Structures are given as C-alpha cells and as structure tokens.
Amino acid sequence: MDGVLVLTISGQDRAGLVEKLADVIAAHGGNWEHCRMAHLAGRFVGLLEVTVAGENQQELEVALRTISDLDVMIAAGTTCSAVEPLRQFDLEVVGSDQPGIVRDVFKALALAGVNVEELSTRAYSAPSSGGMLFEAKARLACHAEIDRDDIRSRLEQIAQDVMVDIQILD
C-alpha cells in the first residue's frame, strides 16, 4: 500500500537543493505530488507531499534525513477520501503593516468555522511613503451552511480596527 509523506524542509539557500531533493525521492520510487516552497530570511523552506510504495517508505525517510545541509521533518499523511465538498473563496488583506493583523483576521475566520486552505503574506516598503505595507492572500473553505454575511461583517469590523482593506472574492 502506498504511503503519503508530508515533508517540511529548510536549508541554507543554494543552487541544486530542489534537484537533490527530487533525486532522492525519485531514486526511492517516490512521487512528488504537491509543494509550496519559498526563500525566507536566507533559507529555502518548503512543504511537500510525496507518495511512495510502502516497501520503499522507510528507506526514503532515511535518505531524506541524510541530505546534507537540509533539515527535513517528516509526518505521515493520509490518502484523500471522499469528503463533503466545501465552498471555497479567496480573501485579500492590504494595509499598513502592524503586529496582530494575521492573528485578528484569522481568529475571526476560525470562530466563524472557516478553514484556511492556502495563505501567503508579505510586508514591503510602500512606493510613495516608504512606510511598510502588509499584504495577505488566502484561499479559504467553509461548509455551505456557514453564513457568508456573518463572515463579511466580522472582517469589516477588524478592517476598521486595524485600518486595513479586507476583500472577500467569490
């Protein structure tokens, strides 16, 4: 039976790191499924889903942990089973950077029963003022019975409190 591995990787950014990781996975019969990778604070970090035949899983795990200059954490995943489909939508947040924006926005979403499927954020210098701006983009999901107007109302209040623009995109 195939196993599913969820890898969290981190290493000093250098050329060939992804190639080395892909080589180890392929050499042990693994299949590179989904990933998100980025350069953060001088490090190359990522999340990766790999499927591998059960008889090769242990050898693959050992080989992954021995890649030089790469920290690898491995968690067992599960194959996707038939689940109730969720309604998905996108969220965008833009405004002056300040501590607590992510906490406040995503606490409100969690309290409303909304799941975060994907999230990317960045802080950058505003072209005209030189002040720092914050931007977040998220792919969210919730059950159909959850009241979207309630979600919108909660987020509008937060937008006023922390002075950011929050948009829900269908």
Query: What pLDDT score does 85 carry?
Result: 77
User: How far apart are the C-alpha atoms of 36 and 63, rounded to whole Å?
Assistant: 21
Query: What pLDDT score does 130 carry?
Result: 81
Query: What pLDDT score does 81 carry?
Result: 60
Question: What is the CATH code of the structural domain delimited by 2-77?
Answer: 3.30.70.260
Classify domain 87-169 at the CATH topology level.
Alpha-Beta Plaits (3.30.70)
Q: Do domains 2-77 and 87-169 have the same CATH topology?
A: yes
Among 89, 99, 143, CA closest to 123: 99
H runs (alpha helix) in the chain: 17-27, 54-65, 101-111, 148-162
Q: Encode the chain (170 residues) as per-residue pLDDT tens digits.
A: 789 999 999 999 889 999 999 999 999 999 999 999 999 999 999 999 999 999 999 999 999 999 999 999 999 998 766 567 789 999 999 999 999 999 999 999 999 999 999 999 999 998 888 899 999 999 999 999 999 889 999 999 999 999 999 999 98
Query: What pLDDT score does 6 carry?
Result: 97
Domain spans of the chain, in order of start: 2-77, 87-169
Its pTM surpasses 0.75: yes
